[in-house]
Amino acid sequence: MIARWVLFFGLLALPVWAVQPDEMLKDPELEARARALSTNLRCLVCRNESIDESHASLARDLRILLRERLAEGDTDTEAVAFLVDRYGEYVLLKPQMRGANLILWWAGPAMFVGGLIVAGAFVRRRRRAEPQAMPLTKEEAARLRDLLQDQG
């Protein structure tokens, strides 16, 4: 019984590909290239989902367009460049690290390091601002000793 539930939930965890049989290329090598490329292209409707996983009609159009380009003899780079030229770099799930994208790539780590520096400065300043314990005077020490003896 447990094995059935494990199998059931295991099958639910498998990715569901949206590629329809009528979209697939006859040549298995070309189809494998198309699959490899389409997993790295973003669905413009679903945002953070590849066109290979998306059921949106635009994703279907992109899959077909990609396969047409490959069937016409484009290299992988040329086919992806065609889609980037047409839809912009947003179509790439992992944008290239150049130009204005460098700001986006480095903004997160730079903000993290900046936050660490600010936190360190705050902790250092706070430590300096804490009052330091002053040693007791002779009269205070004597009074404390008297109080402790009275209790004990």
Q: Between 35 and 12, whose confidence is greater?
A: 35
- Residue range 62-110, pLDDT digits in tens: 888 988 888 888 898 899 999 999 988 888 888 777 777 788 788 899 9
C-alpha closest to that of 23 among 85, 66, 76: 66
Provide the CATH topology of domain 2-91: Helicase, Ruva Protein; domain 3 (1.10.8)
- Residue range 133-148, pLDDT digits in tens: 788 899 999 999 999 9
The full DSSP string for 67-87 is HHHHHTT--HHHHHHHHHHHH
